[in-house]
Chain A
Amino acid sequence: SQQGEEDPQALSIQEGENATMNCSYKTSINNLQWYRQNSGRGLVHLILIRSNEREKHSGRLRVTLDTSKKSSSLLITASRAADTASYFCAPYQAGTALIFGKGTTLSVSS
């Protein structure tokens, strides 16, 4: 199992701006997953990108994966106050457990 490292640790933006957060990992993976956690609640899965994919979209979310650099980024476009949450990445290799990093805390102010 391996842990992803999210960067930055905290991000503050205005409503309508884009938010970008990054994830780095160390060994080969089958896929990389992004999750969101609203204050005090369980994590909710946002998007999964497989190792043979470079970019994936879901609504206002765009995820990229660069396996040569062992990194991924999550872009949230046109952020809203409701996007305020912590975001976690989980690099996954088949046969291992799902491990999470410390996350990026996003604050979107109106």
Chain B
Amino acid sequence: NAGVTQTPKFQVLKTGQSMTLQCAQDMNHNSMYWYRQDPGMGLRLIYYSASEGTTDKGEVPNGYNVSRLNKREFSLRLESAAPSQTSVYFCASRLTGRGTEAFFGQGTRLTVV
């Protein structure tokens, strides 16, 4: 099993450009998450999807949109990238329930210049 796969691993964007970060999981999980991690800030939740067809805002949703394309895939879109969105982005998934752990992808390092 591949687990959680994120693409791309690295990306450099110019201010104002748009892009979509892809995330796919093969564990039949119903919940999926997008986080960003900045130095000294820990992980901050951008958006999450508790099940196929639903999405909810997290702590820092401004400047982002998400799509839960199907049960496997959860994408994060930056419509007009800003330098403040330079970060490492992590996707995670878990089986909804009281006692289940989250599985993380390897991250996408995004630089906006």
Residues of chain A having any CB pair with chain B under 8 Å: 1, 30-31, 33, 35, 40-45, 48, 50, 88, 90, 92, 94, 97-103
Contact = CB atoms under 8 A, between A and B. Distances in A.
Contact of B92 (A40, A50, A98, A101): A98
Interface of B: 4, 33, 35, 40-43, 45, 48, 50, 56, 58-59, 88, 90, 92, 94, 97-99, 101-107
Given A33-B101, A33-B102, A97-B45, 7 more contacts: A31-B99, A41-B106, A42-B107, A45-B102, A48-B101, A97-B56, A98-B45
Given A88-B43, A97-B56, A99-B59, A42 B101 contact: no
A100 B45 CA distance: 8
Contacts of A101: 42
A74 B79 CA distance: 40
A94 B100 CA distance: 10
A103 B42 contact: yes
A31 B98 contact: yes
Nearest to B103: A45
B33 A43 contact: no
Given A31-B99, A42-B90, A43-B90, A100 B43 contact: yes
Given A43-B92, A88-B42, A102-B40, A97 B102 contact: no
A44 B59 CA distance: 22
